[in-house]
Chains A and B, each alone.
Chain A
Amino acid sequence: EVQLLESGGGLVQPGGSLRLSCAASGFTFSSYAMSWVRQAPGKGLEWVSAISGSGGSTYFADSAKGRFTISRDNSKNTLYLQMNSLRADDTAVYYCAKGLAVAGTVIGGDYWGQGTLVTVSS
């Protein structure tokens, strides 16, 4: 059974940093791209970032470029999102999702985690 479990969310002050993790199980992690998608309270889905199965290709939304870093540790079956210089408009539930193929050009996928809430506020 495929499972994705996000962690690392919480309350952070503007300008602060957080690292989100997504622990994956039930599939060959390195064979699939992964992505992060967020949803601000009461708003729609927003793609944040994606990474290929090998980790060699990464992609970022304009809102995340220069502030967020996506990475993966295929030996630990874990996906990460390092978020720096956080702003109030980064407040959202962050979901990790398993892509349908190894290529990194993915927006969500066939399995999603339950999400982790990031709140940026002073």
Chain B
Amino acid sequence: QSVLTQPPSASGTPGQRVTISCSGSSSNIGSNPVNWYQQLPGTAPKLLIHNNNQRPSGVPDRFSGSKSGTSASLAISGLQSEDEADYYCAAWDGSLNGVFGGGTKLTVL
């Protein structure tokens, strides 16, 4: 049972907009920034979003992040086949632990 709660799966067709939610608590998302990671099959995770809504250089602007209260969301617009991957949210927790969501498997139909 992960501290941050994500839906196990999500799907969309090419060109669609998909959102993935991440629910936490006041001790983690409610008081610390959220990162989002993309993990393609067989590869290391890649940072997509940091500090709630900041994209590292090289990440397409189709990816965006937001946070409200104790929840965060990752939105992917103009869905592409290469976006098929696992997505994880992460945040620091007041218990001095880092915590990840359980991951969401995105399928492009």
Contacts and interface: CB of A to CB of B under 8 A. Distances in A.
Interface of A: 35, 37, 44-47, 50, 59, 61-62, 95, 97, 100, 105-110, 112-115
Contacts of B96: 59, 105
B15 interface: no
A59 B97 contact: yes
Given A44-B88, A45-B37, A95-B45, A110 B100 contact: no
Interface string B7-23: 00000000000000000
B98 A59 contact: yes
B64 interface: no
- Interface of chain B, main secondary structure: strand
Contacts of B30: none
B80 to A, nearest CB: 22
- Interface of chain A, main secondary structure: loop
Contacts, number: 63
A97 B37 CA distance: 12
A56 B33 CA distance: 23
A47 B47 contact: no
B35 interface: yes
B98 A107 contact: yes
Contact of B103 (A44, A61, A62, A108): A44
Given A47-B99, A107-B90, 5 more contacts: A95-B44, A107-B92, A107-B100, A110-B56, A112-B44
Given A44-B102, A59-B98, A114 B44 contact: yes
Taking each of A106, A107, A109, which has the highest tally of chain B beta carbons within 10 Å of its own beta carbon? A107
